[in-house]
């Protein structure tokens, strides 16, 4: 243990065991951080960039003194904002009730202890916010901080925070290329977008292609509104990213250090939270599979209709042999299939977490 203290002082300070209220959860977090392969550590990180649990707690306590009323609230608001692009129909995704339900359900499990409310959709105009036309994409971008200020002016009194969801492409300042999201603990307001590099031919039923990105960006930005900075301890949902590809490759869940910070605020049962996350993601996978089946059924019916129109008297013409490698190629490059694989991997990881907690709890109970 002395070697561990010296080699990982910041990690030890953030996760040292404590036999007080919620001590069992803290013990488990320390266990998986130091004696588990569930989380991958980041080696060689700049110590000055690390936000230890002690540093976060001091900062959060200070904010509680400044914003005591708001930080006592237990409601998260999701605010859909839509901008009508002339050649882009991505606004239909923001208005997808099925997608918004899945976002709210996952958010309520991720931030267990918070109520999640989806507000009515609001349409925005170019004149409402500072904007620019991106040099490469030639698409309109909105200044994220302007949207944050607008959300702050209409923030409900019972809100802990408000997160705007938009199809509009965002940028945080003139020197930046783009940003997927932007949030602040001090205002309790944030905005995240799926409008970056989205297909111009997208329709409302295409939401499964983008749900992983939305889950990732939503929870990442909301964690900022709980005072969490970017993480350099482990591969984690709070890792910093500089591209969409990099952001989508990061895990959907918090490392032990970041989880300890969120646990301090919400006081959730860690095992119950992981089980709820497992249930919500299982729901997402089921819905995605249903969409795939419906799309396949619709495609088959369309192809059958075309064949019947072209060769109504031919039976053998409807039978076509397709090489297996061609089918596999279509499956592996299908964006929806990729999303489903990511969620399935997450389900396996969550199952391992729950098993680890149960095993550790038995040992912990036996020793205490």
The string of pLDDT tens digits covering residues 180-202 is: 899 999 999 999 987 776 655 66
Give start and end residues of each alpha helix (H) in 225-334: 244-249, 256-266, 270-310, 324-333
Which residue ranges in the chain fall short of pLDDT 70? 1-26, 34-36, 85-95, 197-205, 298-337, 363-368
pLDDT of 273 reads 95
How many domains is the chain built from? 2
Give which of 108, 159, 151 is closest to 129, Cα–Cα. Answer: 151
Per the domain annotation, does 108 fall within a domain? yes
pLDDT of 303 reads 47
Same domain, yes or no: 182 and 292: no
Per the domain annotation, does 358 fall within a domain? yes
Query: pLDDT tens, 234-272?
Result: 899 999 988 878 888 889 999 988 999 999 999 999 889
Q: 111: domain range? A: 73-227
Same domain, yes or no: 216 and 345: no
pLDDT of 211 reads 86
Per the domain annotation, does 111 fall within a domain? yes
Same domain, yes or no: 159 and 293: no
pLDDT of 41 reads 86
Same domain, yes or no: 139 and 220: yes
* Number of CB atoms found within 10 A of residue 24's CB: 20
Per the domain annotation, does 359 fall within a domain? yes
pLDDT of 319 reads 28
pLDDT of 86 reads 56
Per the domain annotation, does 244 fall within a domain? no
Q: What is the pTM of this model?
A: 0.82
Q: What is the CATH number of the domain that holds 167?
A: 3.40.390.10
Same domain, yes or no: 197 and 338: no
Same domain, yes or no: 137 and 209: yes
Same domain, yes or no: 328 and 219: no
């Amino acid at each position: 243990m002395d070697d561990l203290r010296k080699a990982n002082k910041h990690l030890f300070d953030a996760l040292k065991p404590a036999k007080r209220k919620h001590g069992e959860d803290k013990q488990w977090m320390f266990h998986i951080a130091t004696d588990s392969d569930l989380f991958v550590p980041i080696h060689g990180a700049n110590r000055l960039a690390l936000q230890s649990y002690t540093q976060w707690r001091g900062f959060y306590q200070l904010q509680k003194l400044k914003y005591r009323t708001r930080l006592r609230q237990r409601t998260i608001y999701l605010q859909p904002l839509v901008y009508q692009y002339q050649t882009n129909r991505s606004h239909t995704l923001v208005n997808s009730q099925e997608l918004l339900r899945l976002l709210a359900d996952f958010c309520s499990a991720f931030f267990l202890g918070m109520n999640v409310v989806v507000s009515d959709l609001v349409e925005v105009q170019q004149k409402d916010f500072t904007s620019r036309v991106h040099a490469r994409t030639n698409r309109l971008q909105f200044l994220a901080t302007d949207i944050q200020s607008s959300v702050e002016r209409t923030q409900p009194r019972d809100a802990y925070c408000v997160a705007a969801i938009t199809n509009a492409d965002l940028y945080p300042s003139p020197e930046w290329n783009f940003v997927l999201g932007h949030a602040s603990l001090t205002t309790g307001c944030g905005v995240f977008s799926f409008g970056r590099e989205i297909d111009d031919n997208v329709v409302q039923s295409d939401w499964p292609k983008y749900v992983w990105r939305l889950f990732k960006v939503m929870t990442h930005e909301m964690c900022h509104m709980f005072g969490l900075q970017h993480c350099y301890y482990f591969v984690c949902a709070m890792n910093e990213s500089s591209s969409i590809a990099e952001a989508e490759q990061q895990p959907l869940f918090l490392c032990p250090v970041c989880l300890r910070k969120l646990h301090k605020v919400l006081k959730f049962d860690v095992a119950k939270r992981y089980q709820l996350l497992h249930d919500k993601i299982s729901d997402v996978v089921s819905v995605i599979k249903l969409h795939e089946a419906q799309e396949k059924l619709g495609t088959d019916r369309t192809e059958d209709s075309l064949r019947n129109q072209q060769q109504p008297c031919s039976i053998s013409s409807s039978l076509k042999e397709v090489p297996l490698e061609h089918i596999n190629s279509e499956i592996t490059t299908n964006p929806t299939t990729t999303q489903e694989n990511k969620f399935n991997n997450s389900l396996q990881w969550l199952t391992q977490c729950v098993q680890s907690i149960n095993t550790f709890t038995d040992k912990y109970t036996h020793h205490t």
